[in-house]
Every structure is written in C-alpha cells, then in structure tokens.
Structure 1
Amino acid sequence: MIQSHKKLKASLLVSAVLVVSLGAISPAPSAAASTSSSISATAFAVQTAIIQSSVRLRTAPSTSSNVLSYLSKGDVVTILEKTNNYFYKVRNADGEVGYTSSGTQYISLIPVPVTPTLQTALIQSSVRLRSAPSTSSKVLLYLSKDDVVTILEKTNDYFYKVRTAGGVVGYSSSMDQYIQLIPVKSEVPEITLPQPVPPVPEASPIATGIEDVIRVGMKYLGTPYEFGSSRSNSDTFDCSDFTRQIFLEGKQFQLPYDSRQQGDWIKGNSKAVMDVSSLKRGDLMFFMSYKGSTASAYAGIDKLAERITHVALYLGDGQMLHTYSVDSGGVKVDKLSASWMNRFLYGGSVIQ
C-alpha cells in the first residue's frame, strides 16, 4: 500500500513538471480532449489521465491481447505514449504498465497546469537576507556579491522574497545597488551544459565508463525530486538515489544507498580529494549542511569528519549534475556558486 501511494504521488507530481526531452506537447484544452491529441511516442512530455469508465489494461495494443487488469472509473494513470489511433501505453498507480483504449468515453487527459516562470537575480553588493520584508526583522544571513538568487515575488516597493542557492528563503532589498534581475532569454529555461572536454583515447576504459555514466545522468534532467525516494525505480530521485542509479546504469556498479555511505566508500576505496580544482570530470562531490553565507562560517571544520548532507556528480568547468529539492526542478546542471563551494567537503573517483 505504501509503495502504491508513493507511485501515485510520483505520477501526479510528474504531470506538473515540463520534462526536458526531444520535444513537448501542449497542455490539453479540456478533459474531453480527443484522440487527436498531440501526444506521440517520439516527442512527448509525460502527462496523466483519469479513467472515465471501467476499461481493460492489456499486454499489447490490440483487443485480441491478454487482459492484465481492469482500470476503474476515477483511477489516475500516467500516459507513457500514444501508441496508435486506438491505444495509449499507460502506467497505473501500482506501477503496472500496459495498453488501454484512447477513446474519450474511457479516458480523458488531465490538463498540465501552466507554472509561472521564476526569475533569477544577481547580487551586486553584500546585502542582508531577512526573515520578513522589514529592516527591523531578523537577519538570516548575508548575500555576497555575485551570488545568484531566485526571485519568488516582489513583496512591496522595497523588498523581494528570494531563495538562495542553498535553499534559504527570505527577504532582500529590491534596490538596484544590491540586486539586478537576470533577463529571461526565452519562455523555456535553458540548461547550461558543460563545455566539451578534450577527447580521450578510445582505449581508455576509465574515461569511456565515466562518459557513459554522465550520459545516463543527463537523460534524467528534469526528473522530480523526492526525499527518501525508492531505490527500486527511477520515477523520482533524491541526491544519493540519483548518483547510485546513474553508476548502476552507466557502469553496472552499485554504490551504497545514501550520501554518507557513498562518502565513506570513497574514503575507503578511492582517494578523498579536498580541492575542487583537483577533481576530475565524473567524480562524486560531497557537501555539508548550510551554516552561513560567508567562508568564515565554515572555517576550522574537519571536512573528513563532518556529516555529509548532499552528493553531486562533477562535470568539470565548475559545474555539477545533481538534484536537491522539489522547488529547484529536480535533476539539473548547476554552477558551483560561492554557497556550494563553502559547503564542499571532499570528492573522489568511483572508477579508478
């Protein structure tokens, strides 16, 4: 029952996220969308649908195929593809995958909600992040020059509500000398991919294996975040589930289940690298919890003994591939900001 509930939750969450893929579909105009919907097997954003009346779930897209189970009125399913003019390939709340009629008397697409585009901003000079939109409110931390924050709202003429790269939400001055909005180039956020690395000889199994792992990781861009996600599927990820999955798929190597165990594995089976500049593309990176916005807040810490709270995959050129919150959009490529650099403990190679 817990597993079924989790899968249903993940199915509903995915429907609200625009998945980064080869293409995407437009939101259905109504629940009565016909089988002429723009869903296709080649250009597809995952969408959910609601069953209108009892219908069979079959093993193949044919009325002569075996019946796996029956879908009941009110059931919610995930549409995996529009196989032909008569059948959808779907996954039900129990994770069972099969084919069902695409007739509107049996199934209706659930419109994808339009999510407002969040804007980012660049801090121009050191400024306080406060607990409320008032100069008399508590100071949570200080934002430093060149920090990038996400604008959640313009609260009034003097304050923005913002979220830092470390996930702290608060209020900051909206004055130009402290903060400048970063222009939105297009309606769909662009993902900054790492610059190509110099080619390596084909005979190098280490480099080939790492690139396979990175390719697997990049295919999951946009996959929703879920804390404590199941290690038995790839519908959602938390940070350590993601790194474990991409090494499992890309190199058939099974890392431990959580970030602290993965960090211990690196210390015991590889070499802990304390300096980011010494990391190689494909290395794991481990981070501690947020302690403050300045480097001095992290001074004197024994990094090898500190508790690990996050893991990411280093891509080179100051970029990392990871997932850390629902609000951040799931699996993504991030730049190593000052906040992340302050929290960095150590890294290391899985593939020797």
Structure 2
Amino acid sequence: MNKQQWFKQAIIVSMSATIGLGTLMATGVGTAPAAAATASVSKGQSIVNLGKNYMGVRYEFGASTSTTRVFDCSSFTKYIFSKYGKTLPRTSVAQSKVGVAVSKSDLRVGDLVFFSSGSRANGKNVTHVAVYAGNGKILHTYGSPGVTISDLNSGNWKRTYLKARRVL
C-alpha cells in the first residue's frame, strides 16, 4: 500500500469511527440502560409518562386498586405513583393530606392537584385528584373520556381547583 492509499484508508477509518461513535451517542445504543436514560428525567415526569400509557382507560367510581382495566381518580394516582416507589392513600381526600402544600404558581411535573367538582362538590371539599403534567396540563381520569389530559387553567378545572401537594 503506497502512502496515498494508506492516508485515504486512515481518513475513511477515522471518519467511520467518528460517525459510529456519534450515532451511538445520539441514539444511546451502547450506553448504560435505564439508569443513565432516566437520570435526566425527573421521577414526576416518569410517573406522568407511565400514566399516559393508560390514556382512554375507562373511569369507574370506586374502582379497585388491583386492576388497570378501569380507574377512578385516586386509584389511578395511587397506581402510577406506586410504580415509582411512592405509596399513596386510597382516596383523593386522604391523598390531599400527604406531602407538602405547593402554590399553583409553583407546580412541578408530578405534583398532585385537587379539585372540588362533580355531584359531591361544595366548593370546599376535595372530590377529585389529578397529576400535574406540566405546561398547564393535568393527567387524570373522570367521566366518559377516562384517563385523559386536561387544561388546568380553563373551564371546570380552573373553576374547581382547590390546592396542590408535592409528594415526591
């Protein structure tokens, strides 16, 4: 192999290595799984991401906590938080008493938000719980849509908002 051929071969190998490593870095292939991948994602975001997998699952008041075929608002939050090591009480009222209070303006992804809405509401008592999903959105389940994402700052959810709690 003459000098010119050797030089071309060296450039090709070098460029291939650079492209290959760049691809590995960009895709995460060959890096430590789960731990490295989730290190940059908050636990709250992981909980929301898990909850989104259940979009459309039917709402049923009083749903069992041992199924994912149907949820009510608090069985849903109890379930998705449990998958990340956080045990929540069964009811929205009981969930509204854990963690620390957080203002609406200081919400973080994964905070629990509470409402007084529906037939049992009187404007003061907690009747519904949701998870703050970021960007003014909540992840929750109620009525005919089942598990869904709603706008915290409009309509019923703006009108019936009571408080928020940080449990993570």
Structure-1-length-normalised TM-score = 0.34
- Confirm or deny that 1:260 pairs with 2:110: no
- Asked if residue 239 in structure 1 is aligned to residue 73 in structure 2, the reply is yes
Instruction: Quote the Cα distance in structure 1 between the aligned partners of 2:157 and 2:45.
Output: 24
SS in 2 for 1:311: strand
CA distance in 2, matches of 1:215, 1:207: 10
Shift of the 290–237 alpha-carbon distance from structure 1 to 2, 3 Å rule, reads closer
CA RMSD of aligned residues (A): 2.5
- Structure with the largest fraction of helix: 2
Take 2:42 and 2:157, find their aligned partners in 1: how far apart are those partners?
28
Q: Contact 1:319–1:335 at 8 Å: present in 2 too? A: yes
User: How far apart are 1:248 and its partner, in Å?
Assistant: 0.9
Whole-Å Cα distance in 1 between the matches of residues 75 and 40 of structure 2? Answer: 22
Q: Number of matched residues?
A: 130
1:340 to 2:149 alignment = no
- Aligned match of 1:318 in 128, 136, 142? 136
Q: Structure 1: how far apart are the matches of 2:112 and 2:164?
A: 5
> Do structure 1's residue 276 and structure 2's residue 104 form an aligned pair?
yes
Identity %: 38
1:1-352 maps to which residues of 2 (within 5 A)?
Answer: 208-249=42-83, 251-265=84-98, 270-273=99-102, 275-289=103-117, 306-325=124-143, 327=144, 329-336=145-152, 337-351=154-168
- 4+ runs deviating over 4 angstroms: 202-207
Structure that is richer in strand per residue:
1
How many angstroms apart in 1 are the aligned matches of 2:165 and 2:40?
A: 14
SS at match of 1:241: helix
Instruction: Give the secondary structure class of the aligned counterpart of 1:264.
Output: coil
Offset of residue 290 of structure 1: 5.5
Give the SS at the match of 1:272.
strand
CA contact (8 A) 1:319 1:333 kept: yes
Relative contact order (alpha carbons < 8 A, sep ≥ 6): 1 or 2 greater? 2
Task: Give a deviation string over 1:106-133, Cα, whole Å, max 9, x none.
Answer: xxxxxxxxxxxxxxxxxxxxxxxxxxxx
Give the 3 Å change call, closer, same or farther, for CA 226–342 of structure 1 in structure 2.
same
Q: Return closer, same or farther for 1:203/1:234 CA change in 2, 3 Å cut-off.
A: closer
Task: Indicate conservation of the 8 Å contact 1:290/1:343, yes or no.
Answer: no
Q: Which amino acid aligns with 1:313?
A: V
Displacement of 1:203? 10
Change in 2 beyond 3 A, CA 1:224/1:204: closer
**Structure 2: unaligned runs, 5 residues or longer:** 1-35
1:252 Cα deviation after fit = 2.1
Distance 1:208 1:312 in 2: 18
Report if aligned partners of 2:43, 2:110 keep a CA contact under 8 Å in 1: no
